[in-house]
Amino acid sequence: MKVGAAIKRMFVKNYSSRLKTAEERRYTSVLPSSLAGINLPRVSVVIPTRNRRKVLDACVDSLIAQTIKPFEIIIVDDGHFLHNGLKQKIESAGITCSIVSNEVISGISASRNRGERRALGEIVFFADDDIFFDKEYLEQTLRIFVADKEKKIGGVDGFWVNKPRRGGVKATIFHLFQPFGEEYDGLLLPNGYLAKVNWTNHPTRTNVFGGVAAFRKEVFEKEHYDEVNFPGYTKAEDSEFANRVAKEWQLVFMPLSRFWHHPAEGGRPGSFKAGIQSAYRPIKLLSLTGPSQGRDFILTERSLLGEVFFSLCGAVISKGRRKEFALSALGQAFGIATPFLAVPQNDPVSHLFALWLSRGEDSEK
């Protein structure tokens, strides 16, 4: 353990000026204990979805049950799911509802942008269709925005309750190849990896969000989700967008805004494609969020080798998922060997490859 800690310090010491610990990023403003009697900003919820009606219904039900209801729910349909009864259910709860159908399959970045353009609320809240929210999620999120009198906070995200934890062999392998310690949790790291886990029990400033996050409407006067570099079903489009926003606004993690993610299978790529995407994710973030240094890419490759090593271990010792782990390792190795394909270029070959990689499998209607 001491040797491992020494190695970590050797790699991280040159990054101390670029990173702040979670304690240094603690959000200290006094939050209102109650929102009663306060003139609250309207919340527009945007939900991109593609042929996943069952999980979408559960997500909508949890939004209807909020202690402070959203002003409107905008569902952006990137497929052809059956809408019957959904709009009526939402509107019967006193919430305005719009269902927008994309003429062609456009991807999650384009769907989020389209939903945001239709949003009338002062707060735009993005929710994936396979998320279930605690009944106080929006109330706790609004406490941060209401306390921010100077409007310096551009976005707030919440606590992923059932986030998979690294334990046992996986934790050992991860920490062997990942040089940054837990004190930097909640950040987009210099190697393109996200150290964001459920990492504090108090509001904390960060520079990266996941797909479930609320933003001030003013953020979108300059920033939008990147539809060129993140087409179709992809990874890291939310992190890249939030990191751009963080350059001009403060972003805050709110642990009392709780949600559960129950990943729906439909629309996701197979194990080989997922392996490529997991390798491209840090490479993309490193390339797009810059400026980066040569040693940053060395750290990225080191961390990616840990991913491949873990997948190979899974292929050897896991009886029921050997094929899945093997294909994932093969995809990760391909991604490491082809970093130049991670960010689409202005040529037809890389563009077609990006479209193929982002195309997931269809799901329930």
120's tokens: 């009338």
* Local structure of 204: helix, strand or coil: strand
Burial label, 164 (beta-carbon count in 10 A; 0-12, 13-18, 19+): exposed
Query: Which amino acid is present at 247?
Result: K
Res. 196: pLDDT tops 60: no
Give tens-digit pLDDT for 277-300.
888 888 888 888 776 666 677 777
Res. 363: pLDDT tops 50: no
230's tokens: 């993140």
Q: Are 311 and 332 in contact (CB under 8 A)?
A: yes
* Mean local confidence (pLDDT), 3-9: 54
The residue ranking higher by pLDDT, 84 or 332, is 332
Lowest mean pLDDT among 9-13, 40-44, 269-273: 9-13
Res. 336: pLDDT tops 70: yes
Highest mean pLDDT among 174-183, 202-211, 245-254: 245-254
Return all residues near 250 (Cβ < 8 A) that are at least 6 apart: 152, 153, 154, 205
Across the strands, what pairs with 260?
A: 132
